[in-house]
C-alpha cells in the first residue's frame, strides 16, 4: 500500500552536494514532489517534499537518510500555527492559496490543516500578530 | 401595551439581579421565535462586541516626576516615539507610530514588526519597557536626560484615549489590478483574487444602535478587557450617510472616541498588530450594552448579517486615487459564507475582524451585567445623528 507524506530533509554542508533525490527515486522507488528548497551561504539547507511510496520503501529510505546524516521531520512540525496567540481574525485565510488555513463555519474560527500547506509563506505576511512561524 | 423602559429602571433590575441580558447574536433567534413585542418586554439589555484593528487608538501616559525634575520634550518607549508636546511628564503613545530605525516600506512590502500598538500590548501584559526621555532643560526643570526600564505599574497614570474606534460599518476591500497590493484591508490578490472585510456585522456595537439613540457621551463600555466610556463622537463621525431600508448605514458612517483605564485592560483584548506593507496598529476589543428602551431598540438590536450591506471598494484603483465608485454591494451574510460574486466572478472572502472574539466580548459583558458588576451609563449628551439633531 502506498503512503503520502510531506517531509522536510535538512542538509548540512557535508550532505548538501549529494544527489539525494536521485537516490531516493532510484534505490527506494519514491515519487517526490518538491514543495520548497533552499541552501544558505553556509551550505546548510532544506528540501521540503511530498513523497509517495510503498510503506516499506519509505521506511527504508528514512533509515538510509538518517544513516548519511540527513535530519527528516514532518512538514507540520516545521510550520507552526500558535493557536493560543491566534485571535481568529481570519486575515491569513485570504492569503493562503491552498485552504490549509481556513475558517470553520458557523463558528468563524480559524483552523490549520498542515496536510494542505505548501510552505509559501503568504500567511507569515498576512497574519498581523505573527502567530504563524516556519522553522527550517 | 407599549414597552417603555428607562436606564434607571434597567439599572435597578441589574442591581437586583433580575435584568434579562442577551447578546446581539442571541436576540436574533429570540425575536424570530417570540416576536418583537414579547421580546422587547422580556429583554432589558443586548450586549454587542467587536475585535478588530483600530488605527486611531492610543494612550495618555504620565511617567511621574524625576529627581531633579524634567520637562520631557521627546520620549520613547522601546524606541517608539510618543508625543510629548504636552505637560512635563505626560505623553501620548499612538498605535501607528513605528519603532525608530524600522526600514518601513524601503523593501516593499515592509514588515512593520513593532510600533505603538505593540508598546501598549507590552504595557498591559506587564512586560518591561525601555523608557527614554530628553529635554532642553529649564530653571524649574533642569534635567535633560532620563532612561529607565519601566512596567505599567510604574506609570502614575495610563489611560487609553482613542479618537476613532468602532466604525459603524466599513468598506469591503478588493483589487482589480494585476499586482498584489498590501493595504490596511490586508493583502489583496490581483485580478479580484480575494475580498476582505472588517466588521463584526450583527454583533458590532454601532450596527445595533444605528441612529445613536442610546450610545452617547458617558456610555459605559467594555474596553480592552476593562471598563471604559464613550468620550465623544469619533473623528470622521458621519451620520448623514447613506442607509438601507432598515436604517443601517452602508458605509463607514458613525465612529466613537473611547476612554478607559489602561491598568484594568488585558493583552487578550489589546493586541499590537503588524500590517504588511502598511504599518503598525492596535487590535482593540470593545463591547457596548444596548438598553432595550422600547420596541424600536429591540428591532434595531435584532439586526442580522443578512440585513447589513457594504460596498466593495477597489483598493487598487479608485480608493488610493480618492475617486468615487464601487464594485457592487453585498451583505455580511454573503461575506461570511466565504464567497461572493463580483462582476460575474466568484471571489473568496476573508474577514480581518475576529467574530469569535467579538462573541466572547458580548458574552463577557453579558456576564458582568448579570452579575451586577456593570451598570448602564446613561449618556449625558447624545451624539450627532439624524435623530438627535438639536
- Cα atoms in the Cβ-side hemisphere of radius 13 Å centred on B352: 27
Contacts of A103 in chain B (CB under 8 A): 338, 350-351
Query: Which residues make beta-bridge pairs with B226?
Result: B223
The pLDDT of residue A30 is above 80: yes
Residue B195, min C-alpha distance to chain A (Å): 7
Cβ distance of A105 and B337 shorter than 8 Å: yes
Alpha-carbon span B57 to B345, nearest angstrom: 37
| Residue matched to cell numbers 528514512 | A62
Backbone angles phi, psi at B232, to 5 degrees: -175, 175
Alpha-carbon span B118 to B282, nearest angstrom: 7
DSSP string, B82-143: EB--SSTTEEEEETTPBPTT--TTSSSSP----BHHHHHHHHHTT--EEEEEE----SSSB-
Whether residue A11 sits in one domain with residue A68: yes
Q: Which residues contact B29 (CB under 8 A, 6 or more apart)?
A: none
- For residues A46-70, b (16+ Cβ closer than 10 Å) or e, as one string? bbbbbbebeeebbebbbeebeeeeb
- Nearest to A9, CA basis, from A57, A96, A81, A77: A77
Q: Which residues contact B329 (CB under 8 A, 6 or more apart)?
A: B250, B309, B310, B311, B312
Categorize the per-residue pLDDT at B389 as very low, low, confident or very high, splitting at 50, 70 and 90.
Answer: low
Whether residue A55 sits in one domain with residue A35: yes
Whole-number pLDDT of residue A135: 81
How, if at all, do strands B256-261 and B270-275 pair? Answer: unpaired
The pLDDT of residue B32 is above 80: yes
Element (H, E) at A50: strand A45-54
Alpha-carbon span B33 to B38, nearest angstrom: 10
How, if at all, do strands B45-47 and B21-23 pair? Answer: parallel
Residue B140: active-site member:
yes
The pLDDT of residue A76 is above 90: no
**DSSP-based three-state secondary structure for B224:** coil
**DSSP-based three-state secondary structure for B375:** coil
The pLDDT of residue B390 is above 80: no
Whether residue A93 sits in one domain with residue A70: no
**Predicted confidence (pLDDT) per residue in B113-125, tens digit:** 999 999 999 999 9
Whether residue A11 sits in one domain with residue A64: yes
Residues of chain A above pLDDT 90, percent: 72
Whether residue A47 sits in one domain with residue A16: yes
The pLDDT of residue A136 is above 80: no
Query: Residues of A near B (CB-CB distance < 8 A)?
Result: 87-95, 103, 105, 107-109, 122, 125-126, 128-130
Residue A90, min C-alpha distance to chain B (Å): 5
Mean pLDDT of chain B: 97
Q: Where are the domains of chain B?
A: 7-54+161-382, 59-157
| Residue matched to cell numbers 533509515 | A63
Number of domains in chain A: 2
Tell me if B41 sits within 8 A of B157, measured CB to CB. no
The rounded Cα B1 to chain-centroid distance in angstroms is: 37
Whether residue A58 sits in one domain with residue A9: yes
List the CATH number of the domain containing A90. Answer: 3.30.70.20
Alpha-carbon span B285 to B223, nearest angstrom: 6
Query: Residues of B near A (CB-CB distance < 8 A)?
Result: 51-53, 109, 113, 182, 186-187, 189, 194-196, 271-276, 281, 283, 336-338, 348-357
Count of Cβ atoms closer than 10 Å to residue B100 Cβ? 10
Out of A41, A60, A75, a domain closes at A75
- Nearest to B232, CA basis, from B210, B255, B264, B261: B255
Sheet holding A31-39, edge to edge: A31-39, A45-54, A2-11, A71-74
Query: Which residues make beta-bridge pairs with A32?
Result: A51
DSSP 8-state class, residue B376: P
Cβ distance of A91 and B271 shorter than 8 Å: no
Backbone angles phi, psi at B275, to 5 degrees: -105, 110
Domain region containing A23: 2-75
Alpha-carbon span B324 to B193, nearest angstrom: 22
What ipTM score was computed for the predicted complex, to two decimals? 0.94
Report the residue of chain B nearest A107, measured CA to CA.
B356
List the CATH number of the domain containing A54. Answer: 3.30.70.260
Out of A32, A55, A75, a domain closes at A75
- Nearest to B246, CA basis, from B321, B166, B335, B309: B309
Question: Which is it for the CA torsion B27, B33, B37, B39, positive or negative?
Answer: negative
Question: Poorest-confidence range of A73-77, A98-102, B172-176?
Answer: A73-77
Whether residue A43 sits in one domain with residue A9: yes
Q: Record the cell numbers describing residue A41, joined without a space.
A: 551561504
**Predicted confidence (pLDDT) per residue in B271-310, tens digit:** 999 999 999 999 999 999 999 999 999 999 999 999 999 9
Whether residue A33 sits in one domain with residue A8: yes
Whether residue A69 sits in one domain with residue A90: no
Cβ distance of A89 and B354 shorter than 8 Å: yes
Strand locations in B234-327, DSSP E?
256-261, 270-275, 279-287, 289-291, 309-314
Amino acid at each position: 500500500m502506498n503512503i503520502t507524506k510531506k517531509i522536510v530533509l535538512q542538509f548540512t554542508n557535508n550532505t548538501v552536494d549529494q544527489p539525494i533525490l536521485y537516490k531516493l527515486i532510484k534505490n527506494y522507488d519514491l515519487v517526490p514532489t518538491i514543495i520548497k528548497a533552499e541552501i544558505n551561504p553556509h551550505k546548510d539547507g532544506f528540501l521540503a517534499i511530498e513523497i509517495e511510496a510503498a510503506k516499506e520503501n519509505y521506511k527504508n529510505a528514512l533509515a538510509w537518510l538518517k544513516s548519511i546524516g540527513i535530519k527528516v521531520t514532518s512538514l507540520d512540525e516545521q510550520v507552526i500555527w500558535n493557536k493560543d496567540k491566534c485571535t481568529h481574525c481570519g486575515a491569513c485565510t485570504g492569503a493562503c492559496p491552498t485552504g490549509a488555513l481556513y475558517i470553520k463555519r458557523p463558528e468563524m474560527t480559524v483552523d490549520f490543516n498542515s496536510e494542505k500547506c505548501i510552505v509559501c509563506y503568504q500567511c507569515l505576511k498576512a497574519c498581523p500578530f505573527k502567530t504563524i512561524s516556519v522553522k527550517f | 401595551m407599549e414597552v417603555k423602559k428607562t436606564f434607571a429602571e434597567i439599572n435597578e433590575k441589574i442591581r437586583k439581579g433580575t435584568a434579562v441580558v442577551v447578546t446581539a447574536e442571541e436576540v436574533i433567534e429570540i425575536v424570530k421565535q417570540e416576536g418583537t413585542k414579547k421580546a422587547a418586554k422580556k429583554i432589558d439589555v443586548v450586549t454587542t462586541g467587536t475585535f478588530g484593528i483600530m488605527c486611531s487608538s492610543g494612550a495618555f501616559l504620565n511617567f511621574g516626576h524625576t529627581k531633579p525634575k524634567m520637562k520631557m520634550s521627546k520620549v520613547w518607549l522601546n524606541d517608539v516615539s510618543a508625543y510629548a508636546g504636552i505637560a512635563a511628564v505626560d505623553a501620548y503613545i499612538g498605535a501607528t507610530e513605528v519603532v525608530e530605525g524600522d526600514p518601513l516600506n524601503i523593501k516593499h512590502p515592509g514588515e512593520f514588526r513593532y510600533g505603538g500598538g505593540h508598546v501598549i500590548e507590552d504595557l498591559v501584559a506587564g512586560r518591561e519597557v525601555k523608557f527614554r526621555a530628553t529635554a532642553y532643560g529649564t530653571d524649574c526643570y533642569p534635567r535633560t536626560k532620563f532612561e529607565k526600564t519601566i512596567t505599567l505599574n510604574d506609570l502614575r497614570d495610563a489611560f487609553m484615549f482613542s479618537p476613532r474606534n468602532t466604525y459603524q460599518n466599513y468598506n469591503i476591500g478588493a483589487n482589480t489590478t494585476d499586482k498584489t497590493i498590501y493595504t490596511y484591508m490586508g493583502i489583496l490578490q490581483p485580478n479580484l483574487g480575494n475580498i476582505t472585510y472588517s466588521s463584526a456585522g450583527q454583533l458590532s456595537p454601532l450596527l445595533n444602535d444605528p441612529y445613536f439613540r442610546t450610545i452617547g457621551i458617558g456610555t459605559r463600555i467594555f474596553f480592552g478587557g476593562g471598563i471604559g466610556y464613550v468620550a465623544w463622537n469619533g473623528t470622521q463621525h458621519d451620520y448623514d450617510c447613506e442607509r438601507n431600508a432598515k436604517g443601517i448605514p452602508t458605509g463607514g458612517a458613525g465612529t466613537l472616541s473611547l476612554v478607559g483605564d489602561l491598568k484594568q485592560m488585558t493583552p487578550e483584548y489589546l493586541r499590537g498588530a503588524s500590517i504588511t506593507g502598511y504599518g503598525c496598529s492596535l487590535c482593540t476589543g470593545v463591547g457596548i450594552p444596548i438598553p432595550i428602551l422600547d420596541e424600536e431598540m429591540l428591532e434595531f438590536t435584532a439586526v442580522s448579517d443578512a440585513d447589513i450591506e457594504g460596498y466593495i471598494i477597489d483598493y487598487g484603483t479608485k480608493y488610493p486615487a480618492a475617486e468615487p465608485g464601487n464594485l457592487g454591494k453585498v451583505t455580511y451574510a454573503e461575506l461570511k459564507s466565504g464567497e461572493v460574486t463580483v462582476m460575474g466572478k466568484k471571489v473568496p472572502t476573508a474577514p480581518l475582524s475576529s467574530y469569535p472574539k467579538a462573541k466572547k466580548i458580548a458574552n463577557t459583558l453579558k456576564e458582568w451585567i448579570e452579575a451586577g458588576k456593570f451598570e448602564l451609563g446613561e449618556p449625558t449628551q447624545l451624539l450627532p445623528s439624524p435623530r438627535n439633531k438639536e
